[in-house]
Amino acid sequence: MKLRIRRVPLDTLRENVAVLSASCTALRPESFQAFKRLEIVHDDRVLIASLDVTHDLSLVAPDQIGLTDPAFCRLGLPEGAEVSISPARRPQSLSAVGQKISGGALSGLQIGEIVRDIAAHRYSDMEIVAFLVGCAGFMTSQEVLDLTRAMANAGTTLHWPSPMIVDKHCIGGIPGNRTSMIVVPIVAAHGLSIPKTSSRAITSPAGTADTMEVLANVDLSVAEMRKVVEACKGCLVWGGHVNLSPVDDILIGVERPLNLDTREQMVASIMSKKLAAGSTHLLIDVPIGPTAKIRNGSEALKLRKLFEYVSDQIGLKVEVVVTDGSRPVGRGVGPVLEARDVMAVLRNDVAAPSDLREKSLRLAGLLIDQDPAVRGGAGYHRAEALLASGAALAAMERIIEAQGRPRATPALGALQADILAPSDGVVLSTDCLRISQLARLAGAPIARGAGLDLFRQVGDRVEKGEPLFRIYAAEPSHYDLALAAAREENGFALGVTNGENV
């Protein structure tokens, strides 16, 4: 018996959800409840969806099947089209997930099947969590390698004419820290190909794609991206249209809300994206700090070893560089504010944040050092020269022009409030997590002009009543939330110079 498709206007994110009427004519929904998964078939199209039930005939009638937004879009049939349904068979690869959960190591074949099933949206969110948490127990280096390869193969893979494709990646977690937008124009100005794809923020106040979007269009297709790189040597685009390692995006969407963050997943995630992107030389920025993802040197060392193992096996040259992750980099936190800092550095403004400038030069220098034509150790000076001469700024302008300028430049949030020092003292530390939270509460990254502008850094002396930072928000509800949260805990620890808290 057939059911007609009805769109149910609900965005259930990743998960395919179907809705049956409690008095469905094709099959009793109760029969599915234990499994909650059903298979929707139309000719050779098959979609697996989780099941909700409704008693409201106006939402879904007994001879209809409701499909929420992601399910409707993925099936790609019009409303009214006829489909048949049956209880979904468990994806066979779930038995390998069970094996992983009970402590087994999986073969490359098994990991490949799991990744293919996830890519085809055959796993429920709960099944994805089961896989990820099972892997969080332990993964062998071989499993990490197999997962990297399988994820890279599950999407687009890019190939470039140039034999040397450099890239940089930061494992994240540090507010500000928009070095990519300075490193890419410097390296491109030097003459190396650096086609950078970035993500939008998921749990941070801005991703590189969000910040770049303040200055230029970042929604480029693969063909458009190629043109930009051909013309400018570099680009700074959103990875969403490029479809590199799409399973990585699915996994991240599940990991983030659960705070699942293992070394193994991180390596597979980053390396699968870079492998698919056709990179040959990769620089990985690993900030260490008490509120960063990596808390100490021994964790960083383990991470570096795993990156090196996987990259050696897949034939990608990787250099891991450990940086200071104890404090935000730059002054702005949030897309518009960060874009301001980036352009200040590129323009050689005297007021440009020196920490952002220094870190970007260091990273760019290390990438330029990879160029066989450059004398060993000369990379930093070359980077500095390209920045000082305006060549990097010119490269950035070319990239912006090639990607397309935005129709309107987003403005800073109109609602502003300064958070003041409660006492005299010296800034002993700043809590990166808290700074990020406050910027998000203020509305970043969705509100481009929202975020924090930091006036003080670790080591600065402040007097009672002087502003530590300014909150920018575009909407009263965000403004209220951020202000209340900042008054509760602003992330700045003040003390006297001998380190004793005041």
Task: Just list the catalytic residues.
Answer: 261
Q: Which stretch binds a second copy (CB under 8 A): 164-172, 257-265, 366-374, 380-388?
A: 257-265
d(CA 148, CA 151): 5
Q: At what angle do helices 180-190 and 335-346 cross, to 10 degrees?
A: 30
Report d(CA 430, CA 435) in Å as an integer.
8
Q: Check binding of 260 to a second copy (CB under 8 A).
A: yes
Least distance from a second copy to the Cβ atom of residue 217, Å: 20
- In this complex, which beta carbon is closest to a second copy, that of residue 100 or of residue 456? 100
223 binding a second copy? (CB under 8 A)? no
- Residue 394 or 481: the one with the smaller Cβ distance to a second copy is 481
Q: Can you give the C-alpha Rg of the chain in angstroms?
A: 25
Q: Which of 90, 347, 375, 487 binds a second copy (CB under 8 A)?
A: 90
Residue ranges in 55-74 that form contacts with a second copy under rule CB under 8 A:
55-56, 59, 68
Between 32 and 469, CB nearer to a second copy: 32
Residue of 46, 77, 94, 374 that binds a second copy (CB under 8 A): 94
CA of 170: how far to CAs of 20, 207, 328, in Å? Answer: 45, 11, 14
Instruction: Give the DSSP per-residue string, 407-444.
Output: SSPPPPPSEEEEEEPSSSEEEEEE-HHHHHHHHHHTTT
Check residue 104 for interaction with a second copy (CB under 8 A).
no
Of 136-144, 275-283, 299-307, 380-388, which part binds a second copy (CB under 8 A)?
136-144
- Burial grade of 411 (CB within 10 A; 0-12, 13-18, 19 or more): exposed
Q: Which stretch binds a second copy (CB under 8 A): 128-136, 223-231, 389-397, 419-427?
A: 128-136
Q: Report helix, strand or coil for 357.
A: helix
Chosen residue from 2, 23, 31, 487 binding a second copy by CB under 8 A = 31
Per the structure block, which two tokens stand in for 221? 């297709």
Q: What is the DSSP letter of 55?
A: -
Q: Where are the alpha helices (DSSP H) in 295-447?
A: 297-314, 335-346, 354-368, 379-388, 391-403, 432-441
- Does 248 help bind a second copy (rule: CB under 8 A)? no
Euclidean distance between CA atoms 145 and 24, whole angstroms: 46
Q: Which lies closer to a second copy via its Cβ, residue 102 or residue 501?
A: 102
Out of 465, 477, 489, 496, the only residue in the binding site for a second copy (CB under 8 A) is: 477
Q: How far is residue 443's CA from residue 412's CA, in Å, rounded to a whole number?
A: 12
Looking at 3, 5, 18, 19, which residue binds a second copy (CB under 8 A)?
19
Q: Are 415 and 473 in contact (CB under 8 A)?
A: yes
Q: Name the minimum Å distance from CB 440 to a second copy.
A: 7
Residue 36 CB, shortest distance to a second copy, in Å, is 6
- CA dist list (Å): 158 to 175, 223, 238, 343, 459: 30, 11, 15, 30, 45
Site string for a second copy, 416-455 (x = CB under 8 A): ------------------------x--x--xx--------
In this structure, what token pair is assigned to residue 312? 């050696």
Range in contact with a second copy (rule: CB under 8 A) among 53-61, 156-164, 242-250, 395-403: 53-61
Q: State whether residue 341 is helix, strand or coil.
A: helix
* 53 forms part of the interface with a second copy (CB under 8 A): yes
* Cα(252)–Cα(254) distance, integer angstroms: 5
Stretch that binds a second copy, among 3-11, 167-175, 414-422, 428-436 (CB under 8 A): 3-11
* 7 CB-side CA count, 13 A: 13
Dist CA 422 CA 47 (whole Å): 58
List of residues contacting a second copy (CB under 8 A): 1, 9-13, 19, 22, 26-28, 30-31, 33-37, 52-56, 59, 68, 86, 90, 94, 98, 101-103, 124-127, 129-130, 133-134, 136-138, 201-203, 254, 256-260, 262, 440, 443, 446-447, 475, 477-478, 481
